[in-house]
A = this chain, B = another copy of it.
């Protein structure tokens, strides 16, 4: 790096002073050598800033400085778009605090989608991100090139979807008697919370009043699903629709294996969840019992997208049956789509494992789906992601059992909710000791950045060592 700073990118960077240049050099260096590590650093830095802002006295409604454990927990929960809270978002934080949380959600959601998309792009195109970045540096034209286009697409698409959601929800809040300002703020906040699968709620009475409200819940379901399916799928579908005029083939035939696998698995899991929750909660006097039939159906639909992974429940999760918790545990662990705001081991990972077992049961040599072969390296990657996810959950549950007197049912639920950045809670999170809050914070961070960066790091590394037959691999993790 012996070049003079003045020659870099000309005018735009000309005003930067010496220390900033060196910081930029350092970031460049990390990005080139280990994009996964850069992702971790960026997330940690954003969390540190949000924690510092939430630690200001002005951030709380009472004007008292928030305890460090709560400020950190809320910051991690916002930036990792989880939605688990140790204090009530609507009453504990001031307007400033809520804005900080919302900005954390927005940056976290964008960060997750762009970083995962970039890493996924690098993997799926079989072009190492490292070389890509090196090339961009050397040609000195559009820094990061295609990656920049991708980030723009992510930003534009998310803003459009959030704006649409706000336009639908704003009048709803007006019709239930809120002032224009309040309705706008609630509509805006909830739209970001929904699309980013953030799970935060600023409504003073929570979401339970909306349990039978189709106007509120339908946008919630659709917005959650779109946010959770993952940006590669959204891009793939929109590209196939845009190019429709040039061909006669059905649109879905041009979708990638990853898109098909993700959509089918997501839909199957959502349908299974809705049925399972409806069956188990139908007669529970503390959840579905008092509701009308159409409300029970709507609540089941909301619960079907909840574990993957909005965390926005319209019924009291703490009063659900043990069996429902257990089913939700499994579904939260699977999570949403790759490079989405959802967490978990991802639906494509789950799909690959199921396909591997089906192939094994049939005695097939190759694992096939939608006319494509899935290589054994992909299976190994899926096994690694699932196994390490299970290990994270296991260790987290063990630690939480050790530092609290809570039982496995609620501990496992909260741990998986944190790992998969879901944000559903049986109610124990606010009662945890500080050590428990730190354990869940670590799980949210590891769950959010871990599966994503680990899968990318492993996939990128593997690529360099082996020359294999060309076959298509879905994004894992």
Binding site for B on A (CB under 8 A): 280, 321-323, 325-327, 330, 353-354, 356-357, 359-361, 363-365, 376-377, 379-381, 383-384, 387-388, 394, 397-398, 401-402, 407-409, 411-412, 458, 461-462, 464-466
- Whether A458 contacts B394 by the Cβ 8 Å rule is no
Question: Contact: B360 with A384, CB < 8 Å?
Answer: yes
Complex CA distance for A322 and B411, rounded to whole angstroms: 10
User: Nearest CB to that of A362 among chain B residues?
Assistant: B461
A353 and B387 within 8 A (CB): yes
Q: How far is the CB of A284 from chain B (nearest CB, A)?
A: 12
Task: For A359, list chain B residues within 8 Å (CB).
Answer: 380
Complex: how many Å from CA A363 to CA B457?
A: 10
User: Given that A379-B379, A394-B330 are contacting pairs, would A360 and B407 also be in contact in the complex, using a CB cutoff of 8 Å?
Assistant: no
Max chain B C-beta neighbours (<10 A), residue from A361, A380, A402: A380
A330 surroundings in chain B (CB, below 8 A): 394
On whether A322 and B363 interact (CB within 8 A), knowing A376-B376, A380-B356, the answer reads no
Chain B residue nearest to A411 (CB atoms) is B322
CB pair A322–B407 under 8 Å, yes or no, is yes
Find out whether the CB atom of B383 lies under 8 angstroms from the CB atom of A465.
Answer: no
Cβ-neighbour of A398 out of B323, B379, B464, B466 (below 8 A): B323
CB-contact partner of A384 in B326, B361, B409, under 8 A: B361
Name the contact of A383 in the complex, choosing from B321, B353, B464 (C-beta under 8 A): B353
Q: Which of A353, A359, A365 has most B Cβ within 10 Å?
A: A365
- Closest approach, in angstroms, between the C-beta of A269 and any C-beta of chain B? 14
Report the Cα distance A402→B283, complex, angstroms: 13
Which residue of A360, A388, A462 has the most chain B CB atoms within 10 A of its CB atom? A360
B397 touches A365 (CB 8 A): no
* 15 contacting pairs across A/B (C-beta < 8 A): A280-B402, A321-B401, A322-B408, A322-B411, A323-B402, A326-B397, A356-B380, A357-B380, A359-B380, A360-B380, A360-B383, A360-B384, A363-B461, A379-B383, A407-B409
A280, B321: Cα distance in complex, Å: 30
> Assuming the A-B contacts A461-B363, A465-B363, are A356 and B327 also in contact, with contact meaning beta carbons closer than 8 angstroms in the complex?
no
Residues of B within 8 A of A365 (CB): 377, 465-466
List B contacts of A381 (CB < 8 A).
360
| Residues of B with C-beta under 8 A to A379 | 376, 379-380, 383
User: A384 — which chain B residues lie within 8 A by C-beta?
Assistant: 356-357, 360-361
In the assembled complex, the CB of A404 is this many whole angstroms from the nearest CB of chain B, namely 9
A407 is contacted by which of B407, B465, B466 (Cβ under 8 Å)?
B407
Q: Is the CB of B360 within 8 A of A326?
A: no
Once bound together, how far apart are the Cα atoms of A322 and B365, in whole Å? 43
* Docked complex Cα distance between A177 and B377 (Å): 63
From known contacts A326-B397, A402-B280, infer whether A383 and B357 are also in contact, taking CB-CB under 8 Å.
Answer: yes
Inter-chain contacts of A360 with B (CB < 8 A)? 380-381, 383-384, 458, 462
Q: Is the CB of B326 within 8 A of A458?
A: no
